[in-house]
Amino acid sequence: MRKALFLLMAFSLTGFLAAHEGHQDEAAVPAQAADLALDAHQAGQAVALDFKAMALSHLHNKIVHFPVALGLAGALFIFLSYGFKSLVPGMRLMLTLGALAAVAAVWTGGLQAREFLGGPYKAILETHALLGKISMFLLVFTAAVSWFEGLRKWLWIPALALMVVISAAGFYGGILATS
């Protein structure tokens, strides 16, 4: 069991390490708004940023980190809870909050997808959307099953699926976010 858990964690980490491979450093390529603010500041002008517009734009990109983090941590806690029963309440909380956040992420993703329709990234968008919906279903299912003590022994199956599907959805989402 320890070897399997180690291999699972090692596999999960490779996705994170390779996710930004070949990308330019974001500090080297500032966003257009940051460029405009810097130009205004250097010219001695007051810098005015519309924080409300910035907070409400690209909501999916902001929300999606919650189901990813809570889902992956909840899946990890599923494996750890077999040896440490005291982790079960935290596991349930993470999975439940992750499921709620996943519903919001899928909804905001659907709203944001319009800018990619008909473009060269349509196939990537469709794959990302499908994986996102599967991730949401798995999170809701796993969270619900986690509340039934008799079924907890089988949670390792959806936990493994969660780790794979969330990582794959994040990979495709990363392509869209950097395009």
DSSP string, 13-64: HHHHHHTTTTPPPGGGS--HHHHHHHHHHHTTPPP---HHHHHHTTHHHHHT
Q: Which residue has the higher pLDDT, 50 or 140?
A: 140
> Exposed/middle/buried for 148, CB within 10 Å: 0-12, 13-18, 19+?
exposed
Q: What is the pLDDT of residue 96?
A: 97
Report how far apart, in Å, the C-alpha atoms of 14 and of each of 10, 118, 126, 140, 155 are. 6, 32, 24, 26, 23
Q: What is the pLDDT of residue 157?
A: 97
Task: Dihedral sign for Cα 56, 61, 64, 69, please.
Answer: negative
Q: Which residue has the higher pLDDT, 54 or 97?
A: 97
Distance, CA of 145 to CA of 17 (rounded, Å): 31
**What are the pLDDT digits (tens) for 85-135?**
999 999 999 999 999 999 999 999 988 888 777 788 889 999 999 999 999
How confident is the prediction for the chain on average, in pLDDT?
Answer: 82
Distance, CA of 60 to CA of 79 (rounded, Å): 29
Q: Which residue has the higher pLDDT, 141 or 59?
A: 141
Distance, CA of 141 to CA of 134 (rounded, Å): 10
Q: What is the pLDDT of residue 25?
A: 40
Domain boundaries defined on the chain: 2-177
**What are the pLDDT digits (tens) for 140-177?**
999 999 999 999 999 999 999 999 999 999 999 999 88
